[in-house]
Protein backbone atom coordinates (compact mmCIF):
# COMPACT_ATOMS: atom_id res chain seq x y z
CA UNK A 1 0.00 0.00 0.00
CA UNK A 2 1.35 3.38 -1.06
CA UNK A 3 0.97 6.33 1.32
CA UNK A 4 0.41 9.77 -0.23
CA UNK A 5 2.45 12.46 1.49
CA UNK A 6 3.16 15.99 0.38
CA UNK A 7 6.64 16.57 -0.91
CA UNK A 8 8.84 19.30 0.48
CA UNK A 9 8.46 21.30 -2.75
CA UNK A 10 4.66 21.20 -2.51
CA UNK A 11 4.75 22.34 1.11
CA UNK A 12 7.13 25.20 0.30
CA UNK A 13 4.96 26.32 -2.65
CA UNK A 14 1.83 26.20 -0.47
CA UNK A 15 3.54 28.25 2.25
CA UNK A 16 4.74 30.79 -0.33
CA UNK A 17 1.20 31.18 -1.70
CA UNK A 18 -0.17 31.52 1.83
CA UNK A 19 2.49 34.12 2.74
CA UNK A 20 1.76 36.21 -0.37
CA UNK A 21 -1.98 36.04 0.37
CA UNK A 22 -1.48 37.14 3.98
CA UNK A 23 0.85 39.98 2.92
CA UNK A 24 -1.73 41.21 0.39
CA UNK A 25 -4.49 41.01 2.99
CA UNK A 26 -2.41 42.97 5.52
CA UNK A 27 -1.69 45.62 2.89
CA UNK A 28 -5.43 45.97 2.25
CA UNK A 29 -6.08 46.28 5.98
CA UNK A 30 -3.41 48.97 6.35
CA UNK A 31 -4.82 50.95 3.42
CA UNK A 32 -8.34 50.67 4.85
CA UNK A 33 -7.13 51.80 8.27
CA UNK A 34 -5.39 54.84 6.74
CA UNK A 35 -8.58 55.76 4.86
CA UNK A 36 -10.58 55.46 8.08
CA UNK A 37 -8.15 57.76 9.91
CA UNK A 38 -8.21 60.35 7.11
CA UNK A 39 -12.00 60.22 6.92
CA UNK A 40 -12.32 60.60 10.68
CA UNK A 41 -9.96 63.61 10.66
CA UNK A 42 -11.85 65.18 7.75
CA UNK A 43 -15.19 64.64 9.51
CA UNK A 44 -13.84 66.20 12.72
CA UNK A 45 -12.51 69.23 10.83
CA UNK A 46 -15.81 69.67 8.98
CA UNK A 47 -17.68 69.37 12.28
CA UNK A 48 -15.47 72.06 13.83
CA UNK A 49 -16.13 74.38 10.87
CA UNK A 50 -19.88 73.78 11.07
CA UNK A 51 -19.89 74.58 14.80
CA UNK A 52 -18.03 77.82 14.12
CA UNK A 53 -20.34 78.63 11.19
CA UNK A 54 -23.40 78.21 13.42
CA UNK A 55 -21.89 80.52 16.02
CA UNK A 56 -20.83 83.24 13.59
CA UNK A 57 -24.06 83.09 11.57
CA UNK A 58 -25.90 84.12 14.73
CA UNK A 59 -23.61 87.14 15.17
CA UNK A 60 -24.84 90.15 13.23
CA UNK A 61 -21.56 92.08 13.45
CA UNK A 62 -18.82 91.82 10.86
CA UNK A 63 -16.26 91.97 13.65
CA UNK A 64 -17.76 89.47 16.10
CA UNK A 65 -16.13 88.53 19.37
CA UNK A 66 -13.99 85.41 19.41
CA UNK A 67 -15.71 82.08 19.64
CA UNK A 68 -15.97 80.77 23.20
CA UNK A 69 -14.88 77.39 24.54
CA UNK A 70 -18.53 76.52 25.09
CA UNK A 71 -19.16 76.49 21.34
CA UNK A 72 -15.68 75.53 20.15
CA UNK A 73 -13.92 73.26 22.67
CA UNK A 74 -10.89 72.46 20.51
CA UNK A 75 -7.63 73.77 21.95
CA UNK A 76 -5.42 72.72 19.04
CA UNK A 77 -7.45 74.62 16.41
CA UNK A 78 -8.75 78.14 15.92
CA UNK A 79 -11.24 79.71 13.53
CA UNK A 80 -10.59 83.00 11.78
CA UNK A 81 -13.57 84.82 10.28
CA UNK A 82 -13.37 87.53 7.61
CA UNK A 83 -15.87 89.18 5.31
CA UNK A 84 -15.34 89.78 1.61
CA UNK A 85 -17.27 91.16 -1.31
CA UNK A 86 -19.06 88.46 -3.26
CA UNK A 87 -17.51 87.80 -6.64
CA UNK A 88 -19.51 87.25 -9.82
CA UNK A 89 -22.74 88.63 -8.38
CA UNK A 90 -24.91 89.89 -11.27
CA UNK A 91 -25.26 93.68 -11.34
CA UNK A 92 -29.05 93.53 -11.40
CA UNK A 93 -28.88 92.21 -7.82
CA UNK A 94 -26.59 94.93 -6.45
CA UNK A 95 -27.43 98.49 -5.50
CA UNK A 96 -31.21 97.99 -5.39
CA UNK A 97 -33.21 100.37 -3.20
CA UNK A 98 -34.18 98.63 0.02
CA UNK A 99 -31.94 95.68 -0.83
CA UNK A 100 -29.66 94.48 1.95
CA UNK A 101 -26.09 93.88 0.89
CA UNK A 102 -24.88 90.32 0.47
CA UNK A 103 -21.39 89.54 1.76
CA UNK A 104 -19.20 86.43 1.82
CA UNK A 105 -18.26 85.21 5.28
CA UNK A 106 -15.02 83.22 5.09
CA UNK A 107 -14.32 80.83 7.96
CA UNK A 108 -10.79 79.41 8.09
CA UNK A 109 -9.91 76.51 10.35
CA UNK A 110 -6.27 76.77 11.38
CA UNK A 111 -4.01 74.54 13.41
CA UNK A 112 -2.64 76.30 16.50
CA UNK A 113 0.75 74.55 16.37
CA UNK A 114 1.86 75.84 12.96
CA UNK A 115 -0.89 78.27 11.95
CA UNK A 116 -1.55 76.32 8.75
CA UNK A 117 -5.03 76.51 7.26
CA UNK A 118 -6.61 73.07 7.41
CA UNK A 119 -9.96 73.84 5.81
CA UNK A 120 -12.18 76.78 4.96
CA UNK A 121 -15.77 77.47 4.10
CA UNK A 122 -17.39 80.47 2.40
CA UNK A 123 -20.97 81.37 3.31
CA UNK A 124 -22.99 84.09 1.61
CA UNK A 125 -24.96 86.10 4.14
CA UNK A 126 -26.75 89.41 4.55
CA UNK A 127 -24.70 92.31 5.88
CA UNK A 128 -26.83 93.20 8.91
CA UNK A 129 -24.39 95.81 10.16
CA UNK A 130 -24.99 98.07 7.15
CA UNK A 131 -28.52 96.88 6.40
CA UNK A 132 -30.18 99.84 8.13
CA UNK A 133 -28.19 102.27 5.96
CA UNK A 134 -29.32 100.62 2.71
CA UNK A 135 -33.02 100.41 3.58
CA UNK A 136 -33.52 104.14 4.21
Q: Let me know if residue 1 belongs to a domain.
A: no
Give me the chain's average pLDDT, please: 86
Does residue 92 or residue 36 have the better pLDDT?
Answer: 36
Q: Let me know if residue 123 belongs to a domain.
A: yes
Q: What is the pTM of this model?
A: 0.69
What mean pLDDT do residues 1-8 have? Answer: 81
pLDDT tens digit sequence for 29-51: 999 999 999 999 999 999 999 99
Q: Let me know if residue 98 belongs to a domain.
A: yes
Q: Let me know if residue 21 belongs to a domain.
A: yes
Q: Let me know if residue 2 belongs to a domain.
A: no
Query: Containing domain of residue 130, as a range?
Result: 8-135
Gap between the Cα atoms of 7 and 1, Å rounded: 18
Contacts of the segment 43-51: beta carbons below 8 A, 24+ positions apart? 45/77, 45/109, 45/118, 45/119, 46/119, 48/72, 48/74, 48/77, 48/79, 48/109, 49/79, 49/107, 49/109, 49/119, 49/120, 49/121
Count the domains in the chain: 1
Amino acid sequence: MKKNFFTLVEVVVALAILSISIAGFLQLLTAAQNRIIKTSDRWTQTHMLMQAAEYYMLMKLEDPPGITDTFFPYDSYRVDVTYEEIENLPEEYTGLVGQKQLRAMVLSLKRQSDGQEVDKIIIDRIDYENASENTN
